[in-house]
Structure 1
Amino acid sequence: MLQLQHISLQVEDGANREILKDVNLTVDDGRFVVITGPNGGGKSTLAKVIAGILAPTEGRILLDGRDITQASITERAKMGIGFAFQQPVRFKGLTVRDLITLAAGDETLSDCDIGRYLRSVGLCPRDYIDREANASLSGGEMKRIEIAMVLARKTPLTIFDEPEAGIDLWSFGNLIDVFADLRRETEGSVLIISHQERILNIADEIVVLSGGSLTMHGPKDEILPGLLRGDRCAFCRGEE
């Protein structure tokens, strides 16, 4: 179980902006949660706070009852928090096989298993398994490889920050299938930052973050109809 207790984050950039404002959220085990809301509402910032990339100004973060507020991103990864960046990191000198093997933490991982992860994100194993993860790969290709890495890692809590960014329409359809399978198969929790209706539609719970504050949280069947009845682009606009 993940618990956020009174999480606030203030940035001193001359204006002392408060990016997150007293956010309280509990994510139970085995739940598929999508955080949505306007651009600039604090969604990606909240994901980075959970992952340990950013430290909150106030509040506590608990994982299975343990206070991890001061834990680093490396320490949280060891505790079982996986994070997929909106802009994937490139790894010069490492092949796609290396990355997925490292992510899985299993040096005996077979090419067949690696191929299964690559196919699940719409990549042909034969074309990618020996490719170096460098600038020769497009942003969309790296995004899919990073998602394959997160799937191979099988962490108790997996966070995806706008996984659809840079993904073409055909691959996005595959991505929905991957998340649908992950939702059925995972024993942990999945937390996705997204405003895509097709991703919202496979959630167990939807969280709406606007202006740095949590404005709605509940089962998909309660929250999504209200979002869709209003301006469908209301949570695509904002300050960013």
Structure 2
Amino acid sequence: MLELKNVSFSADGKEILKNINLVIENEKFVVMTGPNGGGKSSLAKIIAGIQKPDSGQILLDGKDITDWSITKRANSGISFAFQQPVRFKGVTVKDLITLASGKKMSTISVCQYLSEVGLCAKDYIDREINGSLSGGELKRIEIATVMARKTKLTLFDEPEAGIDLWSFKNLIDVFEKMHAEVRGSILIISHQERILNIADQIVVISGGQVSQVGTKEEVLPGLFGVDLGCKYFKEV
């Protein structure tokens, strides 16, 4: 279980998060949504350890991890997929997925992860994670990498960004399968209706605060048509 207690965060003199209190239970599929600039990505980065809160506590299974490094949090079972994936010159796709899994993997196993995110494995397995890959390709490879880790808490920041229509439909299947097989918690930042519709819990972040938490039946009726800052809830 992940628990945030009175978490606040500021950047460049601006208050981004204000006394966030939130509990994410084990084995839950949670989607975080709300207006752009509301603090969603900052909150995800604070959970992952990329940014440090000004005040408050972060607890993982009852342990205070507020001051833990990114590496220590990763080793304790927290994964994070960036909105803009990182490139690794000189590292192949197979190397990256194998490294993420923490164990020796066969080519067949690596290919299976790539196939699940809509990539032709034989065309990608030996490619470097460099500028030759498009943003959409990098996004799918990163999702495959996170899947291979099989951690207790996986964070995705707008995973649909750069994903085409066909791949997006398959992405939903990937998340559902991942949730069923890994039995860990998944926290996704998204505005997309199809992702919101498979959530156990929806968290709405607005103005740096948690404005609503509930099931999709409780939250969604009041959100459709709400301006999210250049985006609207829509079905892809």
Question: TM-score surpassing 0.5?
Answer: yes
Query: What one-letter code is carried by the residue in structure 2 that aligns with 1:96?
Result: V
TM-score (norm 2): 0.95
Partner of 1:71: 68
Report the counterpart of residue 179 of structure 1 in structure 2.
Answer: 175
Give secondary structure in 2 for the equivalent of 1:45. helix
Aligned twin of 1:10: 10
SS of equivalent residue, structure 2 residue 35: coil
Alignment of 1:143 onto 2:121: no
CA distance in 2, matches of 1:236, 1:190: 25
**Match for residue 152 of structure 1?**
148
Unaligned regions of 5+ residues in structure 2, if any?
232-236
Counterpart amino acid of residue 18 in structure 1: E
> Deviation of residue 184 (structure 1)?
2.4
The two structures, once aligned, show a CA RMSD in angstroms of 1.1
In 1: Cα distance, 2:95 partner to 2:101 partner: 10
For residues 7 and 186 of structure 1, the distance between their equivalents in structure 2, rounded to whole angstroms, comes to 28
Where do 5+ consecutive residues of structure 1 fail to align?
none
- Quote the sequence identity (%): 65
Give the AA of the match of 1:164. E
Q: How does 1:61-210 map to 2 (within 5 A)?
A: 61-107=58-104, 109-210=105-206
**3-state SS of 2:146 partner:** helix
In 2 relative to 1, CA 110–144 (structure 1 residues): closer, same or farther, beyond 3 Å? same
Residue from 57, 60, 68 that aligns with 1:60: 57
Distance in 1 between residues matched to 2:10 and 2:111, nearest whole Å: 43
* CA distance in 1: counterparts of 2:127 and 2:176, whole angstroms: 28
- Residue 234 of structure 2 is aligned to residue 234 of structure 1: no
* 1:162-215 deviations in Å (ceiling 9; x for gaps): 101111111111111111212322311000001111100000000000010100
What's 1:23 paired with?
20
Task: Note the C-alpha offset of 1:236.
Answer: 4.0
Rate the CA distance shift 1:122–1:184 in 2: closer, same or farther, 3 A.
same
User: In structure 2, what is the Cα distance between the partners aligned to 1:80 and 1:192?
Assistant: 16
The C-alpha deviation readout for 1:80-108, integer Å capped at 9, x for no partner, is 1000011101111111000000011112x
8 A Cα contact 1:10 1:18, kept in partner: yes
CA distance in 2, matches of 1:94, 1:222: 45
1:237, 1:8 → 2: CA distance? 26
Secondary structure of 1:214's match?
Answer: strand
2:40 maps to which of 23, 39, 43: 43
Structure 1 residues 179 and 236: alpha-carbon distance in aligned structure 2, compared to 1, 3 A threshold: farther
In 2, are the aligned partners of 1:2 and 1:64 still within 8 Å (CA)? yes
TM-score of the superposition, structure 1-length normalised?
Answer: 0.94
Aligned length: 231
Amino acid at match of 2:9: L
